Structure 1
Amino acid sequence: MEMSRRLAVKLAGAAVVAMRPGAVALPAPAHRPHAGDQARHKAEELVRRMTLDEKVTQLHGTGPQFPGAGYNGSIPGNSRLGIPALYLADGPNGVGNGATGVTQWPGAKALAAAWDPGLARRYGAAYGAEQAGKGHNVALAPCVNILRVPNWGRSAEAFTEDPHLNSRLAEAVVEGIQSQYVIATVKHFAANNQETDRMSVDVVVSRRALHEIYFPAFRAAVQQGGAAAVMTAYNKIDGSYASENAYAVGQVLRGEWGFDGMVVSDWGGTHSTVAAAKAGSDVEMPGGTYFGTALKNAVRNGEVAESVVDGMVADVLTAMFRAGLFDHRLPDPRSALRTVVSSREHLALARSISVQGSVLLKNQGVLPFSGAVRSVAVIGEAAHRIPQPTYGSATVNRTGTAITPLAGIEARAGTVKVVSSHDLLGRTTDAAAVAAKADRAVVFVADTAGEGTDRSTLALPAGQNELIEAVAAANPNTVVVLNTSGAVLMPWLDKVRGVIANWYAGQEQGAAIAALLFGDAEPGGRLPETFPATDRQGPAGSGDRYPGDGVSVHYDEGLAVGYRRYHRSGQKPLFPFGFGLSYTRFTLGDLGIRTGADGGAQVRVTVRNTGSRTGSEVVQLYLEHPDAAGEPSPVLKAFAKATLAPGGSRTVELPVPRDAFAVWSEERQGWTVLPGRYGIHVGRSSADLPLSAEFHVP
């Protein structure tokens, strides 16, 4: 039974592509040329001078070497050969592991919601500079796992449910980090999409889904971003642990993508010596259970050729040369323990990310506050703190004073009277009484999420739904601010007049949300994930698809992940992928398409600000494949963010290169472009696409 189920999943969505006449197979893409070849040459020259003991020393590391180290592991250097030590530090949302003097940035979800690769690159550079200032030359970031289920405990560390947006952001953050002579480690490769049973669960997934949904951001990070390192996941993929998965690591990452940098395990994620080494893994973290003495013995008894070990060490050194670690030595982490690496510029950038990544979900004339607003009630326990992941690699300290929502609003209010209520459990009556006396009531709510545990429900915890209901009953001009890791349910939505998704917003949260409420800035974000209407929508509603049976989890939905699933099923979410309102109004028009030099589509759209204030619109292009392709819905292939003054207009370019038309063929085991008519749909979200045209691919 298990074998037939596994086969069924592997074949899902493949047959419709395999036999189509006239389909054109795309050649495997060439590996991105680096100063790269020189880096590999230097690495191999150095390996030739090393003893077997010296080689093996480079292939496993230890945990932190002293209390409060501020990093998560290290690999010793080699003074004889001038090889610097490696210090590996978390995490995706800032310098973690208890480090001090660092910026507590908004979470990755907020960055993704800005839909701005340029902003992501700036974040990567600032974050990389902070890691470098602390002496950490390997950043364990970014996390680019697809948000397959909104319940995922690490949702705040990840970007999105969509492969194209994920890829654009991954490439940008990697480039930013490595501009600071710090190795970026894109993680967790691959199909790590839940915390439940994450250490051992076998993800049964088709290769087409791997290539079209779960692999693209890793590929972009490696081939376009130039990532020097990849971290493997804890889980199994189709029967083999990720760290020893010959298909994912060996055939795809090493072979098809040409990756010659460092492949490192997640902490405790190595499970073998011979299989892992031969699959293409390089470094075991932490400890040397498999890549220490056991690896030396495997070489001596002939189970692993020394040339394999040479290649593993060359991968590590190639990453170091490529990122500039030999020429740009960082301070010893011991000497940088008390160094403050945050700065005014970084705090300003954190504030900007929070503003640009906040998504206005509902506004019935209550935002921004007008001059007629003379009093504001600030309600909720979350208004008095800065929510962030409760545990794991995304937990980050702050530097200086964190600006809570209440503090930010009080600082900005001027002559507007600000009153507050903590509302703590069972005191909704008090909160409602405070709200009733104010012109506006703003309720701040938060979830509880973090590494190691998935959310059992998308409902807000600790009586917060009841709090919102009580406040809204007392004050019709109620606004809810969501400081959450991702999607939440909103049974009170029709009873409030405004909702802002502000995510985990970092230490500048208060200043950012105050600017949005009072109209000093506009919420520039769009949803990077679909918000379900109920807990039963999506894979979370089916036990075998999520969380599995304790042994395996079946990705039977194939390509129908996120908004693709809603389109195929006809279910209506609470808010669709790509959705977001503005304080101004925009129109889209003048859709134009021409054929590009590579046979792809060059699309143009004019966006106009018809409102009364400056604002930003994210123009999104979705490609609809011919039916024979077996795609469950139109899929995002291009986007552009335009900021316009009132009355302003701009023509944005939305290139769709020929390889963006390709689908993965299980029969060909490669990318294939089907001839036929494709739909080009342009609009403001996956569910709002007013401009359409056909494009013919011969």
Structure 2
Amino acid sequence: MISRIVFVVLSTLLYISGCKADEYEELFYYPAPQGNRVVDAKWNEAYATARSLVDGLTLIEKVNITTGTTVGRCSGNTGAIESLNITNGICMSDGPAGVNADLATLFPNGMSIATTFNKALASKRAQAMGKEFFAKGIQYALSPCFGPIGIKAAGGRGWEGFGPDPYVEGVFAGLTVAGLQSSGVGAVGKHLIANEQEHFRLDKTFYETLGFTTDNTESISSDLDDRSLHEMYLWPFAEAVHNGLASVMCSYNRVNGTYACENSYLLNNILKTELEFPGFVVSDWYAQKHGVNSALAGLDMIMPGTELWGPSLTEMIVNGTVPVSRLDDMATRILASYLYVGGDKVPETNYYASSEEKFGYQYFDNESALITMNEYVDVRTELSYEASLENAIEAIVLLKNVNESLPLTKANGINRIALLGSLAGTDPAGINCDSCFNGSTPNGYGSGHGRASFFVSPEMGIGSRAFEEKVAMEVVREDWDMETVQDGAIYQDAAIVFVGAASGEDLFSIDENYGDRNNLTLWNNGDNLISNVTFVNPNTIVVVAAPGPINLESFIDNENVTAILYHNYLGDQTGTALAKILFGDENPSGRLPYTIAKDDSDYIPVVYVADPPNDPRDVFNHTIYLDYRYFDEYNIEPRFEFGFGLSYSDFTTTNATIKTIMEPSYELPMAAKYLDTYNYTATDLSESSYLFPEDFHEYSSYLYCYLDESVNTSSTYEYYPNGYLDQKDRTFDAPTLAAGGLGGNPALWDVTYQVTVDVKNVGKYAGKYVPQLYVAYPQSTEFPSPPLQLRGFDKVGLEAGNSTTVTFDITRKDLSVWDTVSQSWIVQRGTYGIYVGSSSRDNAKIGEVTLV
């Protein structure tokens, strides 16, 4: 144990909050731990079967399952294991908003799910989505996304996740993982970790293959301190692992100077030791940089497949550069995960991710077999329809509603309306155009986009509802010709203006916005459009569709802007959901999962310049003060705070109580000892085990793991990563204090206190309310903390005049801070304030808990 203690001290010294970029030093942790070291009945059973299967595999079969074949039906396919009847390998496909395939549902995105603050709806969506992946023959969904968590307002892919609050991220990460996997599909949590912007996330070589020019040589390094890593960015991964996450995808960026997919401290220590993650780590597509380093650092599978592994991994094993035990653990983690989620029960894949043609060559090479590529199986279900629409409805936030301008009713004098702006209708280039913004869109752009099989635009949804109400409707899909716009708006009882912006992955660009937005203004002349409409119509309703925060200052106080609806990407039923809110069929209940600022300088900026080009750095100097935590800490007045959202009704909270379940100790209790290490049957490494068989037919586009010639086993590898030779033989009998269970020490999820509060609907409409619980930690120089942190939320639906009681469980983890000295969670002694309310600013203290 001496080496372990020394290492903990070293890691503590190297992780210092507030360091400059050049003060973040390389950390390492070897060897990669064997999976399945803690008690969990379902994982233990999967491992027992997987280990016996791995014992019977050949060398090539073991390597096959770790390496993508470069071509295949899915976004990624591993090699086959014929002896286990995995004849087409393991199938992995996008994405976080639904199956990226024909005849599937395009669900509201992750940020929209966070906006609902509805746990039951999140589970329903995940279950419905999982059933569609299963029916397409996909074993692993590349979903959910909780990295980026979206700390940068202009960040390109924040909309794929659940927002910049780690507690919200954690809740929806866990629910999505559980929901997907309950449908028989493995969840791949991505991207580990701190992948918070698109600029420079790829290196120069990668960008050049995409046809882009760039200044950076290496990918950007996300430089962050240990406490921030644990309390902010790792939190949702821990919750996902706690809920049985099958796989983790490592990201393109570097973390404190080392590429995430070969960062041994991140993969071997934090993920596989501290969080006791028993599944497998897969690279983002082409994110692997070095073969030996990544294998030793804890990477288990590469996608879509390159010769950094495949035949190279075979050679590494045969010549002893990488130990056979590491390959055995890779294969076991993959097979155990596969069995854990029921991958062996998934039907044959019936579509091709990269082609919509019915027939074609199996490997796109004019020499492989002609096959039926797409069977056009319609996997949409009634459950999917309900989940998509219900989530979309509850993801719409009412920010402003002067004199009850909404809902639109004839009783309020609404007989004629106009829909104004290009975003009222469908883009002329189609509903699945990945780099267009001349119409309403169901999702952002890039690999997380998904594919819509149909799309209800605002014009379609609202038009249908207006027809039912016998309300006349004009539509002017114009952003620039203000005379035409004003002519359409001037005589209407309500003028509804559709504005917004877009973002996505840096594989695409819109008007030179390469994934990240260049600014936070409205696109397509939106501010000017609103101004001109309000000049002629005193009842202007603005509908903002955006991937994240937008600057609202040019029109928020305009007296003729009577109502504002705000939403992220709502999926294929966008227009239907908007119509139901506008006409009062549904009461808006969305809440902002992030803060909207008055001044753009209050947001964490995107690093737009690679300085220096060979080592671009993104220093996370906001540490644990993200989003509302930052605004609260520095007394910055937001335009709309985290958790804010209006309703057509009014609600009260009363009769709050705090009940002690158990007083948490300062330190965590030690978890149980590790399970016994498994000793695998020796693997045959003779020439016959790895050379191409005689008369073997190769397809040029397919990556094989066989070798053409014998391996030299007498040479010595000289380029091992720092620390490996010193640490490779370490063994550990017991978990660290922070570890010992899925996601961390099991005691972290012990309930310590229970809070109850009565919620009543005192308005005239039925509606849903989101009570939110915040905790004020004891303040100290050793553990300074934000004024308040969200530690509970719920959503309740109530008829007018009705009430209910809401219960919040506060766990040990909810009261803990990460101690960099002990490398564990501790609960400080002192007084904790408990607050309940409707947002991060609109809340009241209901009591205190004092620990001595």
| TM-score, structure 2 as length reference | 0.76
Alignment of 1:493-508 (within 5 A): 493-495=556-558, 496-508=561-573
Distance 2:108 2:276 in 1: 33
Matched, 1:565 2:630: yes
Matched, 1:451 2:505: yes
Give 2:416's aligned residue: 375
Distance 2:295 2:639 in 1: 46
Distance 1:352 1:30 in 2: 41
Distance 2:831 2:121 in 1: 35
Going from structure 1 to structure 2, the CA distance change for 1:8 and 1:300 (only over 3 Å counts) comes to closer
Distance 2:610 2:851 in 1: 35
Cα deviations across residues 582-632 of structure 1 (Å, max 9, x unaligned)?
Answer: 010011111211211354221111111110111111111111111113112
Give 2:397's aligned residue: 359
Unaligned runs of 5+ in 1: 1-5, 15-28
Give 1:607's aligned residue: 759
Distance 1:644 1:549 in 2: 57
Cα deviations across residues 12-41 of structure 1 (Å, max 9, x unaligned)?
Answer: 289xxxxxxxxxxxxxx9957241101011
Distance 1:649 1:484 in 2: 34
Going from structure 1 to structure 2, the CA distance change for 1:636 and 1:436 (only over 3 Å counts) comes to same
Aligned counterpart for 1:217 among listed residues 214, 230, 236: 236
Give 2:161's aligned residue: 158
Root mean square deviation, CA, Å: 2.2
Alignment of 1:108-119 (within 5 A): 108-119=110-121
Decide whether the 8 Å contact of 1:540 with 1:547 is kept in 2: no
Distance 1:326 1:585 in 2: 51
1:370 positional shift: 2.4
Decide whether the 8 Å contact of 1:544 with 1:553 is kept in 2: no
Give 1:421's aligned residue: 476
SS at match of 1:493: coil
Alignment of 1:476-555 (within 5 A): 476-490=538-552, 491-495=554-558, 496-540=561-605, 551-555=616-620
1:344 positional shift: 3.8
Going from structure 1 to structure 2, the CA distance change for 1:166 and 1:50 (only over 3 Å counts) comes to same
Distance 1:582 1:368 in 2: 10
Cα deviations across residues 332-364 of structure 1 (Å, max 9, x unaligned)?
Answer: 445654111123432232111110111111111
Aligned counterpart for 1:314 among listed residues 308, 318, 332: 332
Distance 1:93 1:578 in 2: 23
1:390 positional shift: 5.1
Aligned counterpart for 1:197 among listed residues 181, 196, 200: 200
% identity of equivalent residues = 32
Distance 1:191 1:397 in 2: 27
Cα deviations across residues 174-230 of structure 1 (Å, max 9, x unaligned)?
Answer: 11111121110000011111111112111110011010000011111111x211111
Distance 1:546 1:211 in 2: 27
| TM-score, structure 1 as length reference | 0.92
Distance 2:395 2:654 in 1: 25
Alignment of 1:80-99 (within 5 A): 80-83=83-86, 85-96=89-100, 99=101
Alignment of 1:452-467 (within 5 A): 452=506, 453-467=515-529
Decide whether the 8 Å contact of 2:134 with 2:346 is kept in 1: no
Give 2:17's aligned residue: 12
Distance 2:500 2:298 in 1: 41
SS at match of 1:681: strand
Aligned counterpart for 1:104 among listed residues 103, 106, 120: 106
Cα deviations across residues 436-488 of structure 1 (Å, max 9, x unaligned)?
Answer: 11101111112121111211111011211100111112111111111111111
SS at match of 1:326: helix
Aligned counterpart for 1:406 among listed residues 455, 459, 463: 459
Decide whether the 8 Å contact of 1:375 with 1:418 is kept in 2: yes
SS at match of 2:602: coil
Give 2:308's aligned residue: 290
Decide whether the 8 Å contact of 1:545 with 1:553 is kept in 2: no
Distance 1:546 1:583 in 2: 50
Decide whether the 8 Å contact of 2:94 with 2:450 is kept in 1: no
Matched, 1:55 2:97: no
Decide whether the 8 Å contact of 1:596 with 1:657 is kept in 2: no
Decide whether the 8 Å contact of 2:284 with 2:303 is kept in 1: yes
* 663-672 or 331-340, which deviates more: 331-340
Decide whether the 8 Å contact of 1:523 with 1:582 is kept in 2: yes
Output the amino acid matched with 1:458. Answer: L
Give 1:347's aligned residue: 385
Give 1:127's aligned residue: 129
Give 1:441's aligned residue: 495
SS at match of 1:198: coil
Going from structure 1 to structure 2, the CA distance change for 1:264 and 1:541 (only over 3 Å counts) comes to closer
Decide whether the 8 Å contact of 1:196 with 1:547 is kept in 2: no
Equivalent residue pairs, number: 670
Larger radius of gyration: 2
Decide whether the 8 Å contact of 2:122 with 2:175 is kept in 1: yes
Give 1:254's aligned residue: 272
Distance 1:278 1:251 in 2: 12
Decide whether the 8 Å contact of 2:479 with 2:529 is kept in 1: no
Matched, 1:167 2:170: yes
1:50 positional shift: 1.2
Q: Extract structure 1 runs of 4+ deviating beyond 4 A.
A: 6-9, 29-32, 541-550
Matched, 1:432 2:473: no
Give 1:627's aligned residue: 779
Distance 1:585 1:545 in 2: 49
Unaligned runs of 5+ in 2: 1-10, 20-35, 203-218, 352-371, 427-439, 507-514, 665-751
Decide whether the 8 Å contact of 1:389 with 1:450 is kept in 2: no
Distance 2:401 2:14 in 1: 43
Decide whether the 8 Å contact of 1:152 with 1:193 is kept in 2: yes
Decide whether the 8 Å contact of 2:444 with 2:569 is kept in 1: no
Going from structure 1 to structure 2, the CA distance change for 1:167 and 1:34 (only over 3 Å counts) comes to farther
Give 1:655's aligned residue: 809
Decide whether the 8 Å contact of 1:72 with 1:88 is kept in 2: yes
Decide whether the 8 Å contact of 1:611 with 1:647 is kept in 2: yes
